[in-house]
Amino acid sequence: MGFVGLGSIGAPMARRLLRWPGGLVVHDVDPRACAAVKGAEVATGVAELASRVGFVSVMVRDDDQVRDVVGQIVASGARPLVAVHSTVAPPTPAALASAAGPRILDAPVSGSVIGADAGTLAFMVGGTAEDFAAAKDVLALMGTRIVHAGPVGAGTAMKLARNLLQFVSFTAAFEAQRLASAAGLDVRALGEVVRHTDAVTGGPGSVLLRGSSEPLTPDDPWTGVFTHVRTLGEKDLGFAVELAAQLDVDVPLARYALAHLGRALGLPEVAP
């Protein structure tokens, strides 16, 4: 088992693989990072590492570093199964697979350092069914949610969709923070309420469990649920926008959501 890239997330991921039968071989451009994964053997370079193992996890900083690592593996003549955990640009996984052959998985992670430390990461994997099956037991040492998203590139697409929701939500949370601050509220207390109720309801991502973005039909069981959600949401968003206007707080995402909530939920437009 090999691991390349021992940064803040890569190092705790690698430590989870020390339990793999046959041991772990690691490499990082910083020798101190390798020394921090106690119990692992240290390779002098990527080529040496690839020649010693049948599976390589890659968790480096960006597309250029991913291409460099995979290029060194290809040049070495070794043919391990390579799982790229870095979040890369949409075309990169297919380009890597084309250059390296079919032994590439794009397997980005979600869960941050907390999940890496706890071994509870989510893996979104793109690749062949055969390669996914070969990687699943390895990934299970590092995570508790392992999804075969589809062919090479699908793991990256799923990670980007997941992060779109996260970072747009962060922006919306900032609007809520400014509104709460202007109203004289304790923002930390608001955050605790949000975390508590999201743990109960599933938070914004719960609407994805419907499984489709197509418009709802009248006989769909989700229609009644989302009609109720829209009624409550439009009422509360309307009040929030009204309060923001009173407090002179700009809330463009809230205004957009108020105008488009029904369509986002798959419901027909309401006639003015």
CA atoms within 13 A on the CB side of 75: 10
The amino acid at 264? A
- Cα dihedral: 34, 40, 44, 50 (round 10): -120
Q: Which of 38, 136, 159, 235 is catalytic?
A: 159
First-last CA distance in the chain: 62
Alpha-carbon distance of 16 to 118, in angstroms, equals 9
Residue 82: both structure tokens together: 């390579």
Strand segments, DSSP code E, in the chain are 2-4, 25-27, 41-42, 55-58, 81-84, 104-106, 109-110, 121-126, 143-150
Of 255, 148, 161, residue with least CA distance to 213: 161
8 A C-beta contact, residue 181 and residue 248? no
Both tokens of 236, joined, read: 């509360």
Pairing state between β 121-126 and 109-110: antiparallel
Rounded to whole angstroms, the Cα distance separating 108 from 84 reads 7
* Separation of alpha carbons 59 and 14, rounded Å: 10
Entry field: residues in the chain: 272
- 159 counts as catalytic: yes
- List the helix and strand counts (H, then E) for the chain: 11, 9
Active-site residues, by number, are 159
